[in-house]
Amino acid sequence: MKIIIVGCGKVGLTLAEQLNNEGHDITVIDKDGSRLRSVTDNIDVMGVEGNGAIYKIQMEAGIKDTDLLIATTTSDELNMLCCLIAKKAGNCHTIARIRNPEYASEIQYIREELNLSMAINPELAAATEISRLLKFPSVVKIDAFAKGRVELMKFIIPENSVLHNMMVYEVAVKLRCNVLICVVERSHDVIIPDGNFQMKAGDKISFIAPPAQANQFFRQLGIGNTTVKTAMFVGGGRITYYLAKMLEETKIKITIIERDLRRCNELSELLPNAMIIHGDGSNQQLLMEEGIGQTEAFAALTGFDEENIMLSLYASSLSNAKLITKINRIAFEDIIQQMNIGSIIYPKLITADGIIRYVRAMQNSMGSNVETLYKIVANKAEALEFRVGKDAPMTGIPLEKLSFKNNLLIACINRNGTIITPRGKDTIEAGDTVIVVTTHSGLNDLKDILK
């Protein structure tokens, strides 16, 4: 497909890389010539220098032949204007990044009036992921499928766990839990395990299960998994605001530390139930006074990756709190993953996942559609949820008789709300949603899972 991306900041650059890797024809528009050259020098994309909201610039970028325009500049209003002009000039699909909380309550109206295909809010999406983690503190990452009926959870097998040296096929029998181990991360390797794979302490395993079964699984492992009661957030930006808003209905006692006095005053009005502290979150004495050693959850959500990493390392040295660390750039990812900084949140990757899911859904050709897409391990493994159409070629055939690609697992079948953990005799039927976990990237259609 031909795709135009307006704005090559963090999100725009990530999208350009990933969509280019999936074989799309990408053109990037940006006012900053040096930034644009940096992108076109490193990625095989076209560049157009200028204001993406100008008709002439969009025409130069080829809007007439474009399938999708994605506006990811720092200005919500500019993004909406880019999409409006693209719709008139090229009649293409449009996606706008809209981040301002003032627009959050009106996003449905904006989408309908501007005829947007999609409106994305990286901070809101990141806050949603963090709120799920605070409800399941033993888990490193949670992704929801089938409208929340099934969840893909990642956690690290602790020392002396009953899972150490256990075969994958033994989990259901020995622990009497209907969970399916989908992915194992061991050192730098990402493995889609078969039933005879032997798990080890220190492995990061991703398993899929309904929430009740996941709770049962953790109980059998002797791992406590109750919602945290106290949480400390350093940094009072948009993610913190959205997150605290989401948690207002819970009984979690929230403390927010922010160094900007004006922002503190804003937050105290917007979040009357939270404790807002004016101070430098990197001040160790302040953190000790506010109870960093006793808090059950600690989230480093400042605008600086290095500060967030140091804060989480400091918190880990003082307590057993659930740690959450926001990272904007993805340099040195392998090193970061090995640090004891808990769950790592990449807002731009969460955003990119949503857009790539939409792009793949636009391309589907054989009666199936990508409903949900998550990167389990950045660029190494994906979990996709497909809705099965009546023309899908594998319907009605027992799974054991289908020839699937290697390193691919049918993890779950959702049939009218009934969750099926698939076995060899089970079939895929029209109307089902099917969750596929694989190390292959670029699956657009359910037929792509077959050899």
**303-341 in b/e burial notation, b at 16+ Cβ within 10 A?**
eebeebbebbebbbeebebbbbbbbeebeeeeebeeeeb
CB pairs under 8 A, 24+ apart, for 104-113? 104/242, 110/80
Residues of the chain with pLDDT > 70, as a percent, come to: 97
State pLDDT tens for residues 214-271.
Answer: 888 988 888 877 789 999 999 999 999 999 999 998 889 999 999 999 999 999 999 9
Pairing of strands 433-438, 408-415: antiparallel
Q: Which 8-state DSSP code applies to residue 188? A: T
| Encoded tokens for 21 | 């890797």
The amino acid that residue 373 corresponds to is L
| Encoded tokens for 73 | 């500049």
The amino acid that residue 27 corresponds to is T
Residue 365: band (very low, low, confident or very high) from pLDDT cuts 50, 70, 90: very low
Is 379 a residue whose pLDDT tops 60? yes
Is 68 a residue whose pLDDT tops 70? yes
The amino acid that residue 314 corresponds to is Y
By the 8 A CB rule, do 264 and 276 touch? yes
By the 8 A CB rule, do 301 and 233 touch? yes
Is 201 a residue whose pLDDT tops 70? yes
Residue 367: band (very low, low, confident or very high) from pLDDT cuts 50, 70, 90: very low
> Mean pLDDT lowest for which of 75-79, 307-311, 399-403?
399-403
Reduced to 3 states, what is the DSSP secondary structure of residue 342? Answer: coil
* Burial class (CB within 10 angstroms; exposed 0-12, middle 13-18, buried 19+) of 363: middle
Q: Which 8-state DSSP code applies to residue 222? A: T
N-terminal to C-terminal alpha carbon distance within the chain: 24
Is 52 a residue whose pLDDT tops 90? yes
Provide the whole-model pTM.
Answer: 0.84
Taking the mean position of all CA atoms in its chain, how far away is CA 291? 30
pLDDT greater at residue 240 or residue 195: 240
Q: What is the 3-state secondary structure (H, E, C) of 248-303?
A: HHCCCEEEEEECCHHHHHHHHHHCCCCEEEECCCCCHHHHHHCCCCCCCEEEECCC
State pLDDT tens for residues 130-168.
Answer: 998 998 888 988 888 887 889 899 999 988 899 999 999
Angle at 148 between CA 274 and CA 270, to 5 degrees: 20
Is 188 a residue whose pLDDT tops 90? no
Nearest to 5 by CA among 38, 32, 29: 29
State pLDDT tens for residues 99-125.
Answer: 998 898 888 899 999 899 899 998 999
Q: Whose structure tokens read 């009218």?
A: 416
**189-200 in b/e burial notation, b at 16+ Cβ within 10 A?**
ebebbeeeeebe
| Encoded tokens for 146 | 């089938």
Q: Where are the alpha helices (DSSP H) in 64-153?
A: 76-90, 101-104, 107-114, 122-135
| Encoded tokens for 76 | 């919500």
Q: Whose structure tokens read 């220098």?
A: 49
Q: Whose structure tokens read 């704005």?
A: 7
Is 21 a residue whose pLDDT tops 90? no
List the strands of the sheet with 46-49, edge to edge. Answer: 46-49, 25-30, 2-6, 68-71, 93-97, 118-120
| Encoded tokens for 194 | 């078969």
pLDDT greater at residue 399 or residue 375: 399
Q: What is the 3-state secondary structure (H, E, C) of 353-374?
A: HHHHHHHHHHHCCCCEEEEEEE
The chain-wide mean pLDDT, for the chain, equals 90
pLDDT greater at residue 445 or residue 253: 253
| Alpha-carbon gap, residue 227 to 53, rounded angstroms | 45
| Alpha-carbon gap, residue 30 to 48, rounded angstroms | 7
If you average pLDDT over residues 331-337, what whole number do you get? 73
Taking the mean position of all CA atoms in its chain, how far away is CA 297? 20
State pLDDT tens for residues 275-332.
Answer: 999 999 999 999 999 999 999 999 999 999 999 999 999 999 998 899 999 998 766 6
> Left, alpha or beta for 235 (phi > 0: left; psi -120 to 50: alpha)?
left
| Encoded tokens for 214 | 């996941």
Q: What pLDDT does residue 227 have?
A: 82
Reduced to 3 states, what is the DSSP secondary structure of residue 437? Answer: strand
List of domains in the chain: 2-120 (3.40.50.720), 140-221 (3.30.70.1450), 230-345 (3.40.50.720), 350-449 (3.30.70.1450)
| Alpha-carbon gap, residue 120 to 97, rounded angstroms | 5
By the 8 A CB rule, do 357 and 374 touch? no
Pairing of strands 180-186, 204-209: antiparallel
